[in-house]
Structure 1
Amino acid sequence: MIRMMQRLAVAAALLGSVGLGCAGLAHAAPFDVEHATQAYLNTLQGAARARSDAYFDGGIWVEYIGGLVTVLACWVMVRLRLLAGLRTRMERSGWRPWIVTLACAALFLLVSSLIMFPWSIWADYVREKNYGLMNQTFGEWLGDQGIALALTMVFGSLMLLAIMAVIRRAPRRWWLLGTGVVTGAMALMLLLFPVFVAPMFNTYRELPAGPVRDRIVAMAQARGVPSAHIYLVDASRQSDRISANVSGIGPTVRISLNDNLLKRGTVPQVAAVMGHEMGHYVLRHLWWTLGALALLTAVMLWMASRVMPALVVWGGRRWALRDIADPAAIPVLIGVYAALSLLASPLTNAIVRIQESEADVFGLDVAREPDGFASIAMELSQYRKIDPPAWEEALFYDHPSGATRVRMAMQWKKDHVANAVEVVPPPMAAKGPGKD
């Protein structure tokens, strides 16, 4: 459940500059998009490229096995009859039905998280540490996990309470009303996250005055993006990944960039990052994503409404379940939804990837930094397979691959830069990976 809630938010970062001081210019020949693209791709070779491929390929298995672990945790919960036992005891003690449901929801979230915790330690801490993507100690990481669990217990319990109430009052059309509940919860999280949730994990302070802030403000004002507050995040406490975003909705919209980006990027590079992120805001990607996820949620809940009754009938006596509105059936609901989410992951990846590609184009237009764009695409490829087959990118990538992004940047350069000259990219420095 924690993973499902954490995936509500989408962030992307692209950075770069034309004519970076660390890059040399090749001879003035007709600009060849493919040759220029390959020059960048060749900067990631040998062991570094093999490591990147291995991390990404393993990550696909981690994602799918994690979903299966969620389903397994739900199965263990119904087999142990923990919620059924709690429900029966509370009903005998005279507790009101909504309190019984809330208690069952909280117990489910707590116990299922504990069941999944060993997997989470390996997938989210040990594996990340082994690949050099984790700066935290185990204790620091555990503290963040505790905060995430507490938030999940509060918001997740309330959302499950609302969904079970809908199932009880509208047993035939609960999937439609349930879609409204889930969509409303996502919108609320997007509203609250930048102001109330994100500061629980990191410190946010105003970006100091200077060339970086001036460039960001100028770009934001030109594109109608709120820029009264621009925040710097101490993301280096977790990792060396570079990132930035325009988050929130309505009154909570804010621009943020992390300290890794500020330390490692030039002014033109930071401008290119923010150009991409502002694209998400100007193109209203947040609302398009929310609408697309609402539609997908409706389909999955409709399918769940057809599967759940059969499962409850099949395992009712063994699992001590009464009907689909029984609070003890919460693991059945979440298990079915998690399985359907796994099947739908190529579609959700495509939804995000299309919008990331649109933001890439916007970022190139507003920052006009194609070589910097290409160089940061290479940085990001230190943890994402850079040049996958088309079918693999379509199924498993929620962002365009590095090769796709570099090629887009070089095509943009050919189309928009007069007398474009190919840049000879320098060897990639041994830095921590980026995150877009």
Structure 2
Amino acid sequence: MAGLTEKARGGVRAGGGVRAAGIALVLLGVAVAAVVALTTPWRSLPGAAPAVTPDPARDFSSGQIARAAAFDAAVNVPVYLSLAVTLVVAGVLVLTPFGAWVVGRLRGPWWLRALLGVLALSAVSLAIKWPLGMWYETRLRAFGLSTQQWPAWSADRLKSFGVQTVVIAIMVLAVVWLARRSPRRWWIPAAAGAFLLTVAASFVYPVVVEPLFNDFTPLPQGRLRSDLIAMASRDGVPVEDVLVADASRRTTALNAYVSGFGATRRIVVYDTLLRAPAGEVELVVAHELGHAKNGDVLYGTLVGALGAAAGACLLFLVVSPPSVRRRTGVASVADPRAVGLLLGLMSLTTVLSGPAENIVSRQIEARADVHALDLTRDPATFAAMQKRLAVTNISDLSPNAFEYVMYASHPTSPQRLALARSWVRLHGLPEP
């Protein structure tokens, strides 16, 4: 080894770094797979539960089915075009020197050029997608789903852009800074930082980001609040609060969700949902209690954190070959001109990981539905609630395979109703 040139020794060290990152990626991938395999409810009902085939025609009128299909057709074009723009922009940043060319025209210290590069390249994508977002918004208004005016819509879109850009800028700056300090080992602190950032975001998001888009007030004292708190107590779920979001200033859709964990965990219901019968609101909250009781946010955070750490290792491996850097006009990841390459790879990773995340999410949502049925023992109200959600939100009752894989984070309404019927038959109760 003593006879090796300095260049050869550098190549050996770089090769060692790639091997180490590859081993770490495999280990983190195994950890993610293990957590997903052990915590995902692959079967929401016992094996003895009778199978029920989902059938939209059983629960929805021909007019409701036609309206859902018409809405789907109306929004498909802007949605598909937006996805295409995302992929094209990411492809340009990964396969061409465009990103390096943009950042190369900026002036200032490396960190300022990196920041301005993130902002400039993200703004290009925002500008291209803006007309598509307006197109989608006009479709929502045409079908009565949006209550926003253009100034409020624009403000929300810019706030969302700002939040995303800040998070991306933190990640990109960290990668470039670490690469400048340790060119062959930056993936190690980057993986650790990605893990910690994901965990921190779970705590911070409910109390910092969510209030940017909605005002939250405690559910007023009264029978509904008392019943919900009593149900949570009966379920053995510690709930910090039940909050109402002023969603009606933006949409007519009905929704509720659970966010955060520990001291930041809360159940949030849209004010639009409070217009539904109290029993249906209780069923929705029972579903959310299922997420809290099963620690879905905690496990989701763990999977996301491990995935983010694995992503840092994968990023190191992808940008290591000289051919990648030559193609994008970047000398190394330590060069602020690498911002475009990093943005493109992050964007592609987000799109490509979506289908796998949806598979897990649909199973978790089905378990929460079963939890709501077990807790309330009221399948008739559950069915009424699912129909109301589907009709009011104009849910896609029969998504095609592509839409189901790419966008369906929940089972379809017919699937959820079929699950309820299977639960009913398992327990020998009257079928709704």
Q: 2:327 aligns with which of 310, 314, 330?
A: 314
What is the TM-score normalised by the length of structure 2?
Answer: 0.77
SS in 2 for 1:322: coil
Q: Higher relative contact order by CA 8 Å / sep ≥ 6: 1 or 2?
A: 1
SS in 1 for 2:257: strand
Distance 1:331 1:221, change over 3 A: same
Distance 1:391 1:104, change over 3 A: closer
SS in 2 for 1:208: coil
Separation (CA, whole Å) in 2 of partners of 1:127 and 1:182: 37
Aligned counterparts, 1:132-281, within 5 A? 132-263=144-275, 265-281=276-292
Separation (CA, whole Å) in 2 of partners of 1:77 and 1:126: 36
In the TM superposition, residue 257 of structure 1 has moved relative to its aligned partner by 0.9
The answer to whether structure 1 residue 121 and structure 2 residue 134 are counterparts is yes
Q: 1:384 aligns with which of 386, 391, 395?
A: 395
The answer to whether structure 1 residue 323 and structure 2 residue 294 are counterparts is no
Q: 2:118 aligns with which of 97, 101, 105?
A: 105
SS in 2 for 1:119: helix
SS in 1 for 2:299: helix
Q: Does the aligned pair in 2 maintain the 1:105–1:327 contact within 8 Å?
A: no
Q: Deviations over 1:281-337 (max 9, x none)?
A: 111111222232334444444443333343222232xxxx32122111111111122
Task: Give the structure with the higher percent helix.
Answer: 2
Separation (CA, whole Å) in 2 of partners of 1:341 and 1:228: 32
Separation (CA, whole Å) in 2 of partners of 1:52 and 1:111: 29
Separation (CA, whole Å) in 1 of partners of 2:111 and 2:55: 63
Separation (CA, whole Å) in 1 of partners of 2:197 and 2:362: 23
Aligned to 1:39: 58
Separation (CA, whole Å) in 1 of partners of 2:377 and 2:349: 41
Quick check: 175-184 or 356-365, which moved more?
Answer: 175-184
Q: Which runs of 5+ in 1 are unaligned?
A: 1-30, 424-436
Separation (CA, whole Å) in 2 of partners of 1:344 and 1:35: 27
Separation (CA, whole Å) in 1 of partners of 2:292 and 2:68: 33
Q: Which runs of 5+ in 2 are unaligned?
A: 1-49
Separation (CA, whole Å) in 1 of partners of 2:143 and 2:384: 21
Aligned to 1:291: 302
In the TM superposition, residue 208 of structure 1 has moved relative to its aligned partner by 1.0
In the TM superposition, residue 221 of structure 1 has moved relative to its aligned partner by 1.6
Separation (CA, whole Å) in 2 of partners of 1:79 and 1:103: 12
| Identity fraction in percent | 28
Separation (CA, whole Å) in 1 of partners of 2:173 and 2:100: 21
Q: Deviations over 1:402-436 (max 9, x none)?
A: 12100001111222354x1x44xxxxxxxxxxxxx
Q: Does the aligned pair in 2 maintain the 1:204–1:233 contact within 8 Å?
A: yes
Separation (CA, whole Å) in 2 of partners of 1:115 and 1:52: 24
Q: 2:102 aligns with which of 82, 97, 101?
A: 82
Aligned to 1:17: none
What is the TM-score normalised by the length of structure 1?
Answer: 0.76
- What letter matches 2:90 in structure 1? V
The answer to whether structure 1 residue 342 and structure 2 residue 355 are counterparts is no
Distance 1:182 1:39, change over 3 A: same
The answer to whether structure 1 residue 410 and structure 2 residue 421 are counterparts is yes
In the TM superposition, residue 111 of structure 1 has moved relative to its aligned partner by 4.5
The answer to whether structure 1 residue 397 and structure 2 residue 408 are counterparts is yes
Q: Deviations over 1:74-131 (max 9, x none)?
A: 4798357221222xx31xxxx4x444434443444444433443333334x2343344
Distance 1:126 1:81, change over 3 A: farther
In the TM superposition, residue 185 of structure 1 has moved relative to its aligned partner by 2.8
Aligned to 1:6: none
Q: 2:364 aligns with which of 351, 355, 359?
A: 355
Separation (CA, whole Å) in 1 of partners of 2:170 and 2:235: 38
Distance 1:225 1:166, change over 3 A: farther
- What letter matches 1:266 in structure 2? P
Separation (CA, whole Å) in 2 of partners of 1:250 and 1:177: 27
